Structure 1
Amino acid sequence: MNKQDKKHPHSTRNEPDNSAPPEQLPADALISTNDDLIRVMDGFRGKPFLAIDTEFMRERTYYPQLCLIQVGDGEKAVAIDPLAKNIDLEPLWNLMRDESIIKVFHAGNQDMEIFLHEMGSLPSPVYDTQIAGLVCGHGDQIGYDSLVKSILGKDVDKTSRFTDWSKRPLTDRQISYALDDVIFLAQIYPIMLEKIAAENRMSWLDEEFAKFCDPATYITKPEDAWKRIKIRHLKPRALLRLMRLAAWRETESQNRNVPRNRVVRDETLIDLAGTAPKTTAEFSKIRNFPGGTDGKFTKPVLKILQDVEAVSDSALPSTPSRGKPVKAPQAVMELLRVLLKYSTDHFNIAPRLIASGDDLELLAIDDNAPIRALQGWRREVFGDTALKLKSGKIGLAVKNGKIKVIDLS
C-alpha cells in the first residue's frame, strides 16, 4: 500500500483505471503455495537486507487483516498471499527473525503491528526510511510517493491505491502496484544509508529506532486504553470509572476482534463515567449505549460502575492540579521556534527530531528542563544555542531574507 495511505487502510473506493497496463509479471510474482514460498524464502537467505511491505484491511476488525506481504532484495520482488488456501507462513516468519538480514520498511508502524500479531514477535533487525528521512532533509513525515520522487526521480503508480486487498483473485495491476513499493524501497535504502553514514549521523536516529523496535509501541494494554480517549477533566471517581470501562472495552474488542467503537463509542464511555447509572433502567438515558436497557453489555458495565462506587476515596486516582500553570513567555517561545527552524534548516533535519512544541515551552521556562533537546547531540545542534539566546549572549537577525545568529557576548 502506498505509505501515505496507511493512515486510511480501510478505504475501498474504486477509481477508474485509465493508465497503461503493467508489464508482464514474472511467473512467481505471486506466491500462493508452500513449495513456492519455501523456495523463494531460501533464495532470500544471505541477503544483506530485504525491503518489506504489506497490504491490509482493518475497517471491520480490531487487528489488521493481513492481505498481502511484499518482499524484495533489489533484484527480485515477490508478493506472498497469506489468504491462499493452506499456506503456512512460517518460512517467511523465520526470515523475518533472521538477525543477519536487515528488514527495511517505510512508515512501517502498522506493518510492525501486523507482524507482531501474526508471528508473535517483531522482525529484527529493522530500518525505516521515513524515520531515516528525519536526518536526510525530507521533513517530519515524508510520504512514500514523495520519497521515491525525491531520491529516484520516479513516479509511483497510484491506480490501485484504494483497492480492496481482501478480494480474490488479485489482478496483475494490483500485484504490480504492490511490488513497486518494495522494488523502489530496495533502491532507496542504500542511498539513504550511505548519505547518513557520510554525515556521521547514524546514532542520531537511535532513539527513534528504539521506539520503532519496541513491542510496547504496538500493544495497547487494557489498563492504558483510557489514555486514548480525549477528555477535558474528570473528578477522581469519574476518572476511575472511565479507566475501568475503557479497559473492559479494550478486552472485549480484542476478544471479539472488532473495532473499539463497534463495542461502545468513546463519547458513550465518557457519558457513562460522568452519569454513573445505578440501575439497568437508567441506561435508557445513556446516548448510543448498544441495545439500551436490554443490551448485552448492560450487566457487565453496571457491575463495573458498582465496583467503582465501592472504592474508597483514598484509593481513587489523582487528577492533574487545577492550579494556575506557569505560562511560558510568548516572546521567548517565538524566538525559540525561529531558532529551531534556523538550526534544523542548517543541519537539514526535521524539527521534531530535536524538540516538540511542549519541549520548547518547558525550555522557555526552565534552563534545566528534562527534555532531549538539552541532551547529547541535540544539545550540540540546538540546546546550547537556545540557552545562549535565552541568556542574551546571542541574538537573531534577518539579512538578505535569511535568519542569522549574532554574537552579543
Structure 2
Amino acid sequence: MSRLPFELLLALRYLRPKRSFVSVITLISVLGVTLGVAVLIIVISVMSGFDHDLRERVFGFNAHLKVLRRDGAMPDWQSVLAQVQTNPLVQGAAPFVLGQVLVETQPPFGQPRVFAPVVRGCAPELEPRVSALPRSVVSGGFQLGPRDLLVGTVFAENMGLAVGDRVTLYSWQELRRLKESHERQQPEAILPEEYTVRGIFDAGYYEFNANVVVTGLEDAQELFDLAGDDAVHGLMVALHDPLQPQTAARTLRLQLGPEYVVTTWMEDSPLMLAVLVEKNVMLYILFFIVIVAAFGITCTLITFVVMKTREIGVLKALGATHRQVLWVFLGQSLIVSIGGVAAGVGLGLTAIAYRNEFLAFLRRATGFELFPASIYGFDQLPALVLPRDVAIICGGSLLICLLAAAFPARHASRLNPVEALRHE
C-alpha cells in the first residue's frame, strides 16, 4: 500500500504518458513553465550582476558622496575635510579637482595624437581612503609627483602611450587666453606643461579607462588657476554603508551648513539607479511569460475535465468529496508546475554558468559582438544569482500556475454525479 494521499496518487496516474493529445498539451505546459522560469532567472541574474559589478567598479573609482561649495571652488577644504571625517557614517574623505583638458602626445616618429579627457587631481596620501585607484595601477606605479600623470589602459592604447612617455596638457583657461590674444591681434605664446606618464591603471570600467587621466592635486590646481587660493573643486567621501547615501548626505548638510552642497552617487551616477529600476521592471514584465505558460496548464485541465467527466461522476457516486476531487486536479497542476519550475531553475543556472562561453561561440560563428565593452563598459557579461531572486521567481511561478488551475479544478469538484453519468 502506498502512503501517498489518494488525491496525489490519482493525479500521478492521470499524468502518465499515453501518447494522447492531452499528453502533448501537458508536455507543452511543462516546457512553457520551464522556459518562463529559465528566462526570468537568466535576465534577473544578469541585471543583478550588472548592478553589482557596476557599483563595485564605479565606487572603486568614484566616492559615494561629493561635497561641493555652492559659490564655486572650495578654498577652506582642509577645515571642511576635518569636519566631514568626524561624521560616524564616513569612512574617509579626500579633495579633488576635476575638469577637461587637451592632451597631446610627443611620439618620436609620426604625427602626435590629440584627445580631450577629463583630468582628476587627487592627493596621493588621501586617495586610498576613498577609492581603489592606487590598487588599480597595472603598469608603472602610483606616483603623483610634480608633472606626473596616470592614464587608463584604453586611453594609453588609443594614444600609443607607455610608462615613461611624455605628453603636453592644455587647460581650457590656457586655450581661452590663446583665443583672446588672437582676437586682440596680439598673439601670445603659451607654453603648455609637459607631463610624464608614471602609471597605467585599469579601473575595470571602460568609461574611466578611456576618458580619465589623473594628476597630483597641486598640478591640477595650477591647470585650473586654483593654486593661488589653495582651493579645490570639492571633496570625495566614502561611506561605511554605500547603500544608505541619503542618510549620510542629510547629516552632512546639517553639519556643514547651507553654503555647501552634498550629492550622492544616485545623483552623480544615474546609470546605476537606472539598472536597479530596470531590474525590478523586468521582473514584473517577464512574469507575463509565466502567466502565458500557466494558461497552458488551464487548457490542459479543462481538456482533462471534459475527458474524465465519467470518472469524476463515478468518484462522486462512490463518496468522494468536493475537496478530494478539487485536490486531484490541483495536484496535477502542482506536479506539472514543480516539474517545470525545477527544470527552469536547472536550465537557467546552466545558461548563467556558460553565458560567456556562449557569447564567445556566437561571436566566432557570426562575427558580431553581442556584448561590446565600448558600450557596456564590461569585458564579460556579468551575472549574480541571488537566492532571494530565485525564491521569488519559483514561488511566484508556482502560485501563478496553481491559480491558473483553480477554475477548472473547482468546476470538476462541483460536477453533479447524476449529470456526469446520465449519458454513460
Common fold: TM-score over 0.5: no
Which one has the bigger helix percentage?
Answer: 2
User: Larger % of strand: which?
Assistant: 2
| TM-score of the superposed pair, with normalisation by structure 2 | 0.19
Q: Larger relative contact order (C-alpha < 8 A, sep ≥ 6)?
A: 2
Look at both structures and tell me which one has the larger radius of gyration over its CA atoms.
Answer: 2
